[in-house]
């Protein structure tokens, strides 16, 4: 097995915390087709960016929810970060508020579709509980 460096380990730890999963799905999902992209996500996306000290994880999740809900073309990642926002300390009500706010900046369809993803993520969590 490939030896991973410090950036990877730091990123993996952050990714595990955000996902609430010891084997984050983004890494297993890419293992077959592009494992290096999975490694970059851990190293750069989380080891470099996400763990920078200047902004709290909860704040980074709010920025990310804004970005993904506005783009409206990345459903799996939006679902991942709706869950991630909860794991970083947002309440469900705050996630809902953040997504309602999107109506002003990207229109009603973006907000509606994001909220339907939130509803599905919350239901999955409840089903597991």
| Residues in touch with a copy of itself (CB under 8 A) | 26, 29-30, 32-34, 36-37, 40-41, 44-45, 48-50, 52, 54-55, 59-60, 62-74, 76-77, 93-94, 96-113, 115-116, 118-119, 122
d(CA 22, CA 114): 26
- The residue (of 20 and 108) whose beta carbon lies closer to a copy of itself is 108
Nearest CA among 87, 6, 78 for reference residue 47: 6
- The residue (of 5 and 20) whose beta carbon lies closer to a copy of itself is 5
d(CA 28, CA 25): 5
């Amino acid at each position: 097995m490939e030896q991973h460096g410090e950036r990877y380990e730091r990123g993996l730890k952050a990714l595990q915390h955000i996902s609430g999963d010891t084997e984050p799905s983004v890494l297993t999902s890419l293992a077959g087709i592009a494992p290096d992209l999975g490694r970059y996500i851990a190293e750069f996306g989380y080891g470099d960016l996400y763990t920078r000290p200047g902004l709290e994880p909860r704040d980074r999740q709010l920025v990310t929810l804004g970005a993904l809900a506005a783009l409206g073309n990345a459903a799996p990642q939006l679902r991942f970060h709706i869950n991630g926002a909860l794991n970083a300390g947002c309440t469900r009500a705050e996630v809902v508020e953040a997504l309602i706010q999107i109506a002003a900046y990207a229109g009603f369809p973006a907000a509606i579709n994001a909220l339907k993803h939130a509803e599905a993520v919350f239901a999955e969590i409840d089903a597991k509980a």
